[in-house]
Structure 1
Amino acid sequence: MSQTVVGIFNNLKEAQKASDNLLDNGFARNQVDISEDYGSNYSTYNDTDRKSHDDGISGFFDSLFGSDDKVDNYKTNARNGSTVSVHTQSMDRAEKARNILDEYGAIDMEGDAGYRSTENTNTDGSKSIPVIEEEFQVGKRKVETGGVSVRSRIIERPVEESLRLRTEHVHVERNPVDRKATAAELDNFAEGEIEMTEHREEAVVNKEARVTEEINVSKDVDQRKETIREEVRETEVDVDETSAKRTDAKHDSNAKRTI
């Protein structure tokens, strides 16, 4: 038997959290409906929009519960908040949905369950059976199957090189002599100065960065065709007509017609 569970929340944020939790707990997306935040938008409506908006809310709750004082309470709260509707096929699932809505802050409607069976018995005694058919829908999702991670890091290694370095040294020697000065020495007999500079070689280090290898990471895409096979269910209705039976030569005045 189909059941509809309705929860009214103060704002759309609370309603969205409840809706997300319903999906996390196994309810299908097409079983959960969430309305806009009526309260925050109501002031922006003109008179025509307000009437259309109020009529829509009234029609929704009247279709579920009929018209009574409790339904009026639902309508009033729905105009000031956001509504989550959950459609289920069993009372157990409806109860689970109700517990989730309560847990996430649905407004307490004085303990009113908010359920309505879609199998109705009319005043004329007729009954209706819903004919349900599952639709087969196939989509795609991306699943991670592996990958490559490439990291670079800086390391240091010792290197060495040998070379010969020169160092100059200036020496001054004074040798005692005793001889007669020559004519040339007499011509240069004047004040003078001699300078000589020492040098030494030092190692000069220079480093040059050179690219020795390039790492390229890329991927290619393969496409494949896959056939998905599944079974879908639908309601099949058999109608058997039973006719009145005769017992021997007498008519049974209590014969019944079964539907």
Structure 2
Amino acid sequence: MTQTITALYDNRQDAQNALSKLVAAGIPESSVRLVQGREGSTAQSTGVYDHTRDEGGFWGSLKDLFLPEEDRYSYSEGLNRGGTMLTVSADDSKIRTVADILEQTNAVNLDERESSWRQEGWSGYTAGATGAEAAGGIPATGASAGTTGLHAAGGASSTGSYATGVSDVTGAAHDAQVGSRETIPIVEERLNVGKRVTEQGRVRLRSYAVETPVNEQVSLREETVHVDRQRVDRPVTAADEALFAEKTIEATERVEEAVVSKDARVVEEVGLRKDATQHTETITDKVRRTEVEVEDERGNVTRTGTGGTTTDKR
């Protein structure tokens, strides 16, 4: 299965750097697309992009990416402010690698950037609004639809394909002209569910050295030499005659000193291990379809829709 990840960069150099790293990681360059934003503008400049005027063609350039409406408004605003958008199509086995590269190359955290834009007066996407209202130019009614980035090196999102809404056909009844053919289109909505990658938090390991005082007791032995004098008074014997010869005796003092040495031992290992699990989530929504009812004066009522055609006789 192939997924598409989209990221926004403040400048083209970071986007080009991400492109180089993606190609080095084995992503074909043909699977990577860069969309350059407005020249001479910056991502921090204020102003609201009106997609109804489509200055610069940003809204149209994102049409074939099948982005959700709220993301399309956000990326259009980022391009209008001078950013560069990068999209990558990759297999599921490469998606994690792609997301890591985008985070490491200064991809914009779309949540934080949208919050900053709103403080400047940008209201973001509003469900149910049309034209400049939905793009943030005029406050509109309806439920507000938020969007999140990857980002985190947030800002990256993966999307599938998304269907457009149903176009209603209205008008007053009138007689068909002879030889002419008038039609009422039968339209149905299809629900397409995509996926996006979001950050849930980081775990970082950092090693550093600390010093702890240590006390150890050791018993040391000391030797001391003393000169003893003892007065005696006895006659000299024949054996004592040899005492008049020269004689030397000596004794050496010895003491024990503490000798300190240290050795380092590995006592524990701390590492990071990342597991991935999958779960199935059921998405519940409603889709619309149109049906055409044909009545004629012969008493037949024909109902035609995407589910087939039925005819009732009156």
TM-score by length of 1: 0.38
More strand by share: 2
Is the helix fraction higher in 1 or 2? 1
Structure index of larger Rg: 1
Greater RCO (Cα-Cα under 8 Å, separation 6 or more):
1
What's the TM-score, normalizing by structure 2?
A: 0.33
